[in-house]
Amino acid sequence: MTMYSILVCLWFIPSIAWAWCLPLVGSLACPAYEEYYAGMTSPDFYWLKGVWNVTAFDAVVMNYANSTIWDQFQCTSQPNYARYTLSSVCELIVAQNIESQGCNAKYNVTPPALCQSTCLEQTQAVEDAVNSQCHSTLPSDTLSSILNSYSSQCQNTTVLDGATSDGCLLGSANEPDFCGFGTQDEGCQYCAGSNDACCSRISCTKSNKISGGAIAGIVIAVVASIAIAIASYFLYRRSHKHQKVPFNSSETTCVGDGISERPSLVSAGNYLYRRDQTPAALRDTESVSLISDFSNEFHTVVFPYHPSEPDELYLSNDDIIVSTVSFDDGWAVGVNLTNGQKGAFPLVCVAPASRDVLEWLLTEVEQHVDEAASLQLSQIIRRQMKNSSQLTRSTTYASTIPRRTQSVHSHNYV
């Protein structure tokens, strides 16, 4: 790694932490908002400060919805999750936050308002939890005032009073499990006395008393099943001890410690048919500057990867990745051109971009990046095209994701 590369990467740190429009693609906390962007530096959302990856975003948003939200009521015991809180928080971050408004305007997308009915259900759930579980230390009149102010946002906040006729977003679209409640039991309890459409997605079964004989039979069956499973496991290990697992699955995954053995080979056709927008990173001048270094390399994802750490990239099969720094532990850091994220990723999940994909990318750069910025980036792409064969891939892939060592501190390089 050259000193120049390190300086360029270190220079870019502030823009990630403090001025990055975070694309919410792949978000688990705000799945209904994954085509939109979130600004990270608003003082109204101080707890988002420093977040630069959708995995870290999900972690702090979920923590706020489950814990931090109760601080304003000075609870001595933490209440359960209040229904549709994630949906309300996501809406405020994406649509109410002035910085997010600028980000979404920049990329020509407009998030819908949250349906007022969802907002009212959420504020009622908060009020019920405060009154029954919070045990607040505040004087009763002060607590009542705070609750009244909290509930009034459904009438006084534009993004929270959407009407169904105007295409507002229902909480069940963002939290389809358990009708917006935190657990299945709470959802089933609600659905026992409700005809809400969300109840069709919950599997609630009535409990029946089981006889002693039935319990004994279940125990015997379980013990027998365990014994059979253990025996089968050792037989399997013995028969496969010296065999390589064949290519017998069309699934591709790079989750946890292992990966499947069949890669997804990507060509330009994947992008022409599946991408109707310019890659997100090409719409951001800071990202274009970061990837415009002659030492960078372009890759395509052959195994999807779901991050296990906050500083890691979310990889989908048809994503284009630019590596800016590679480490000896089998990891690299760079930019996911498709969704705009920056972070670390395992090199076993990607392969060098083929010539036809690079040709497609070159066209996108020349059409959508301003002339001054596109000149060097186009040269880098053409140089790699010169050295690329037409989608040639080795059929040998690692069976595990390497453990991170040097790359653990990758946030220092992007």
The predicted model gives 408-413 an average pLDDT of 60
The predicted model gives 183-203 an average pLDDT of 87
Residue 207: strand, helix, or coil: coil
Per-residue pLDDT tens for 338-354? Answer: 888 888 999 999 988 88
Strands in 342-346's sheet, in edge-to-edge order, are 342-346, 331-336, 320-326, 297-301, 350-352
Give the pLDDT band of residue 413 (cuts 50, 70, 90). Answer: low
The predicted model gives 233-256 an average pLDDT of 41
Give the pLDDT band of residue 270 (cuts 50, 70, 90). Answer: very low
CA 282/CA 15 separation, integer angstroms: 16
Q: Is the pLDDT of residue 212 over 60?
A: no
The residue with greater pLDDT, 199 or 400, is: 199
CA 171/CA 31 separation, integer angstroms: 11
Q: What is the pLDDT of residue 254?
A: 60
The predicted model gives 51-69 an average pLDDT of 85
The highest-confidence range among 163-167, 221-225, 326-330, by mean pLDDT, is 326-330
Task: Say what the pTM is.
Answer: 0.52
For 65-70, the CB contacts below 8 A with 24+ separation are 65/29, 65/89, 66/182, 69/126, 70/130, 70/134
Concatenated DSSP letters for 75-134? BSSPPPPPTTHHHHHHHIIIIISHHHHHHHHHTT--PPPBBHHHHHHHHHHHHHHIIIII
For residue 340, report the phi and psi dihedrals to the nearest 5 degrees.
Answer: 85, 0
Of 25-29, 194-198, 405-409, give the lowest mean pLDDT range. Answer: 405-409
Q: Is the pLDDT of residue 296 over 60?
A: yes
> What is the torsional sign of CA 136, 139, 144, 145?
negative
Average pLDDT, the chain: 77
Give the pLDDT band of residue 256 (cuts 50, 70, 90). Answer: very low
Q: Is the pLDDT of residue 7 over 80?
A: no
At the topology level, CATH places domain 268-412 in SH3 type barrels. (2.30.30)
Q: What is the pLDDT of residue 19?
A: 47
Q: Is the pLDDT of residue 247 over 60?
A: no
Domain(s) labelled CATH 2.30.30.40 in the chain stretch across 268-412
Q: What is the pLDDT of residue 373?
A: 76
